Amino acid sequence: MIAKGVDHMLEAVFSTLGDIITQLAAMLVSIFTAVVDIFYTAGATEAEPGELTIIGILALVSVGLSLVMWGFNFILRLLKFR
């Protein structure tokens, strides 16, 4: 009798945990989709290509500039060690 009560309790706990994990995963997917929409607009169909938004273009430019600056600083630090 006690084992059946424990079984039902464990089933309820794991069912609730499963629901929580499912909802968290759905929330993460919706957040990711919303963030991607800030940087990229998909095409109307699969055959039609999407395009970057202004924020997406600026983000790519800033990443490129930061990589170039990192490269210059890396080379300068190598020359200072000589």
AA letter at 3: A
d(CA 58, CA 52) in angstroms, rounded, equals 10
Residue 10: pLDDT band with limits 50, 70, 90: confident
SS3 for 4?
helix
d(CA 69, CA 52): 24
Give the pLDDT of residue 71: 96
- Distance from the first to the final alpha carbon of the chain: 79
More confident residue, 11 or 82: 11
Mean of pLDDT values over 64-72: 97
pTM score of the predicted model: 0.61
In this model, does residue 7 exceed pLDDT 70? yes
**In DSSP terms, which residues pair with 51 in a beta bridge?**
41
What pLDDT, on a 0 to 100 scale, did the predictor assign at position 82?
63
Higher pLDDT, 50 or 26: 26
Q: Which 8-state DSSP code applies to residue 46?
A: S
